[in-house]
Structure 1
Amino acid sequence: MAHYRATESKREQFRRYLEKSGVLATLTSVLMALYEENDKPNNALDFIKLHLGAADLESANTEALRIEVADLREKCNVLMEENKELRNRLMQYEPSPEEEAAGE
């Protein structure tokens, strides 16, 4: 029974935290807006994100990250090609470790 009370106490503390920080009021207002919609959206989660302001930030951040990843992949490919070319050029002037071991 003590475990139940401890869990209930933690839940109550968390509920007070959410209420104090304004999370409950904000979620309630967004859910009320969804409830009051005459034409319910197909995707309720997108509706909530949009009304919380997260949808625009997420899409902008996602697009920026996609562009950055594409740029970094291209740079990586260029550097890998350059590395391969430099290794080949180096091999013309220095024997490989295997050749050095065989020559000793």
Structure 2
Amino acid sequence: MANYRASDSKREQFRRYLEKSGVLDTLTSVLVALYEEPDKPNNALDFIKLHMGAGGPEPADADALRMELTDLQQKCNLLMEENKELRTRLMQHEAPPDEEPGE
């Protein structure tokens, strides 16, 4: 009998923890949204993941973002090289600070 009360007490503590952290409210709202959905999705778990934000980006979106990142990194590298080259050219055309023009 004491074992039953101990596990019941742990359950109650866990329930309070979930309630306090907002998990129960979030789960309830997602499940209500699924219940009120007129066209039930084929995969209820995907619906729940999507509405809880755990789904993450779609694989196609992730691939597109990776490609864009690679492209932007290449552009950045090209611009850094161009900047370095232009700075070198500028330094060649500037007069040293101790020389006056016309001397």
TM range (shorter): 0.5 to 0.7
In the alignment, structure 1 segments of 5+ residues that lack a partner are: 68-104
After TM superposition, the structure 1 = structure 2 runs for residues 74-85 of structure 1, keeping only pairs within 5 Å, are none
Cross-structure match for 1:24: 24
After TM superposition, the structure 1 = structure 2 runs for residues 6-25 of structure 1, keeping only pairs within 5 Å, are 6-25=6-25
The CA distance in 2 between the partners of 1:11 and 1:39, in whole Å, is: 35
**SS at the partner of 2:11?**
helix
The CA distance in 1 between the partners of 2:16 and 2:54, in whole Å, is: 24
TM-score (norm 2): 0.55
Cross-structure match for 2:50: 50
Q: Which ranges of 4 or more aligned residues in structure 1 deviate by more than 6 Å?
A: none
The CA distance in 2 between the partners of 1:3 and 1:28, in whole Å, is: 30
The CA distance in 2 between the partners of 1:54 and 1:23, in whole Å, is: 14
- Tell me which protein shows more helix as a share of its residues: 1
Q: Greater CA radius of gyration, 1 or 2?
A: 2
After TM superposition, the structure 1 = structure 2 runs for residues 25-104 of structure 1, keeping only pairs within 5 Å, are 25-57=25-57, 59=58
Letter in 2 for 1:2: A
**SS at the partner of 1:26?**
helix
Cross-structure match for 1:98: none
The CA distance in 1 between the partners of 2:11 and 2:48, in whole Å, is: 24
How many pairs are equivalent? Answer: 62
Q: CA deviation at 1:37?
A: 0.4
The CA distance in 2 between the partners of 1:56 and 1:41, in whole Å, is: 18
The CA distance in 2 between the partners of 1:56 and 1:2, in whole Å, is: 44
TM-score (norm 1): 0.55
In the alignment, structure 2 segments of 5+ residues that lack a partner are: 67-103
Cross-structure match for 1:90: none
